[in-house]
Amino acid sequence: MTPLAGHRVAALGGTAERALARYLASLGAEICDEVAGASFVLDDDLSDASTDPALSPDAIHVSVTTFGRGGPRSAWRGGEFVASAMGGVLRLTGEPSRPPVKEALDACTFHADMVAAAGAMAAHYARGTHGRGQHVDVSVQQVAFSRNVNGILVWQFDRRKLGRAGGCIAYGKARIRAIWRLADGWCFHSLMTGRLGAPANQALSDWISELGLPNPLREVDWLAYDRSTLPQDVRDEWEAAIAKFFAARTKAEIAGEGLRRGINACVVNEPADVLADRHLAARRFLDTPSGLPERFAAFTEGPPATAPAVRTGDRPGPLSGVRVLDFAWALVGSITTKTLGDLGAEVVKIESRTRPDLARLEVQVSASRAGNLDDKPWFAHLNSSKRSLALDMKRPEARQVLEPLIDWADVVVENFSPGTMAKLGLDYPALVARNPAIVMVSGSVYGQTGPLAQQWGVDGTGGALSGRTFLTGEADRDPVIPGAVAYGDVIVPFVMAAGVAAALQQRRATGRGCHIDASMFEICVQQMRDALREARDGGRPQRRGNADPRLHWQGLLPCAGEDRWVAVSLASVEDEARLHALAGADPGAWTATRDEREVMAALQAAGIACGALQDCQDMIEADPQLAGRQSLVALDHPLLGTFGHVNTPLAFSRDGFAPYRAPSLGEHRFEILRDICGFEESRIAALEQAGVLL
């Protein structure tokens, strides 16, 4: 299925080699360098197509630049390293006692390209509605900032800042170790809370006991275990025992016996391991002429159907009029439907009081309370622009509610474990039987097929298996978690949203819907494409710290104050000469006595790419570029008051959008059942009396 077949994309500057161009090509578009006649035009810091007389008025013009178009810093020199620093990601990556270290390759730029893909496809859909093109503006810095949801929350509500966690994952005030040394490499593993983690945690404990090793985990009630409240001395004892266990295991044991036992661990792959991965082979992900990844998501075309009439909704945005039935939870699905909803779609979120979204449970700030499902700012951030209907899905009457919603929907979004929707009678074949033109998108760690499809996985799994983790860190030390903020969890949603918009526009022409299968593992592998190329050609890519072989020099310089730095990228010896002319023979000695903002301004004025390593306070309270782009949008919450919510990091020149606050659990049940399902008040009352509405 090729939704962009027949469309030409003019990729200017360096964009032809970027992931955005590859994404559009994966949908069937032809990549060229001529603006005249192009349906899409891409540019970056090195080019600007906006004044090109050949630019068609119905073309979608997409810019992905370090700081975005317009604003006081739009003309500053930048790049991956500077965007990571200014967007708050770099400060959170690396060991707590050492300087920060960048994520593998161009992680922030890849993320921005996937956001831009969603923006381009949303504008493409809008063009199908009103016939006009527009400019889609993406700032890599703003996209990086949008990953900092937890840090933004703890600063806004508790005036607390997150720090680097090395090989650990930070959950509120707790740090859970996740990178473990093996006999011949490393693995990713973490103990998870409650029913989701209990079987795997018990399996690990049983294996440790069978080997006769000291096991403080033996008598733990894993259903009662809470990763965020375990006393630190107990955690230290547990982690020492787990470290001893893993140190004697091999990568083959973890990938084999560990998988069989279900211990929630995976190997930290090198790029060569990725090229030989059996799951990717089973999904034919690398069956391409180059042996490198081309597919971002798999599309299965639906049956012939009648295309729905073009309609517009009451809300602003490029996706106005699109109707979304949301079965999503946690991050991947929630951000997908947040993106669609923020961009104008009408979203109905199906929830359950007996199995609530994890984001309704995690108490991460002092304003929230355990047991209250409506006072979690994390949920509010992830679920703006949605209405909520809470159902008891085990009751047969729930199907009576869902069927008219399936008829109503253009799109169904889910990110449960593969097979879950089939058990509910809501998989793609079942949906198509009722609504032949429906577009369904499924997000999962491994994809809907293949030998690992049913296995455990989280954001860190995609990082470990793809090579991202192996290549993040300093050359002479263990790898670290590539970003203390989520990565795959926040990128997959934009791939899903882009696929949905492209499929909806194609449906207008063909009448056919589709099923979109998005795999976090595969999308993270796409980000590692340059390292895979090096491995394919016989190399063995290694961790490089903050260095970038494409540049003359890149690194951090210390500034006055605790853990204060500037990120500097020198493209050439001329850049180096400018730095020495300003700061002397030892630039670090010059910067060490100065405020990082003073240093940043001075180096930028000298034509040097430089950015301060910002934390959430810096970004929220003192960054004019992020403020000007409305990176946070103030929304009023009935329990938490008015606070800044992370805005979908896109700007449209024609179809501006306006998010609204997240719902309380089941808040909109009456209006949804009345206005969409067409139920009389007496029927709604009967469903509520029967316990179908929760």
pLDDT digits (tens, 9 = 90+) for 679-691: 999 999 999 999 9
* 322 and 445 inside one domain: yes
In this predicted model, what pLDDT tens digit does every residue of 455-470 receive, in sequence order? 888 888 999 999 999 9
Give the pLDDT of residue 311: 86
* 359 and 457 inside one domain: yes
Domain-ending residue, one of 496, 512, 529: 529
Is 31 among the domain residues?
no
Question: Strands, DSSP E only, in 190-297?
Answer: 265-267
Is 397 among the domain residues?
yes
* 323 and 454 inside one domain: yes
Is 433 among the domain residues?
yes
Give the pLDDT of residue 171: 65
- The CA-CA-CA angle for residues 386, 392, 394, to 5°, reads 135
pTM of the predicted model as reported, rounded to 2 decimal places: 0.97
* 378 and 304 inside one domain: yes
Give the domain CATH number at 373: 3.40.50.10540
* SS3 state of residue 146: helix
Please count the structural domains in the chain.
2
Is-contact 51 41, C-beta < 8 A? no
Other C-beta atoms within 10 Å of 207: how many? Answer: 18
> Structural domain of residue 484, as residue ranges?
298-529
Residue 344 one-letter amino acid: G
Is 493 among the domain residues?
yes
Question: Strands, DSSP E only, in 345-434?
Answer: 346-351, 387-390, 411-414
Of the candidates 222, 206, 215, which has an alpha carbon nearest to the alpha carbon of residue 237? 215
Domain-ending residue, one of 245, 266, 287: 266
* 325 and 462 inside one domain: yes
- What residue ranges of the chain have pLDDT lower than 70? 46, 171-173, 483-484
* 430 and 330 inside one domain: yes
| Separation of alpha carbons 124 and 87, rounded Å | 28
Other C-beta atoms within 10 Å of 656: how many? Answer: 12
Domain-ending residue, one of 498, 529, 560: 529
Is-contact 294 22, C-beta < 8 A? yes
Q: What is the DSSP string of 152-165?
A: HHHHHHH-------
* 242 and 315 inside one domain: no
* 239 and 380 inside one domain: no
* 428 and 516 inside one domain: yes
Give the pLDDT of residue 484: 65
Is-contact 415 387, C-beta < 8 A? no
Is 108 among the domain residues?
no
Give the pLDDT of residue 45: 77
* 510 and 409 inside one domain: yes
* 329 and 443 inside one domain: yes
Of the candidates 317, 381, 376, which has an alpha carbon nearest to the alpha carbon of residue 346? 317
Give the pLDDT of residue 197: 87
Q: Exposed/middle/buried for 16, CB within 10 Å: 0-12, 13-18, 19+? A: middle
Give the pLDDT of residue 47: 73
* 392 and 443 inside one domain: yes
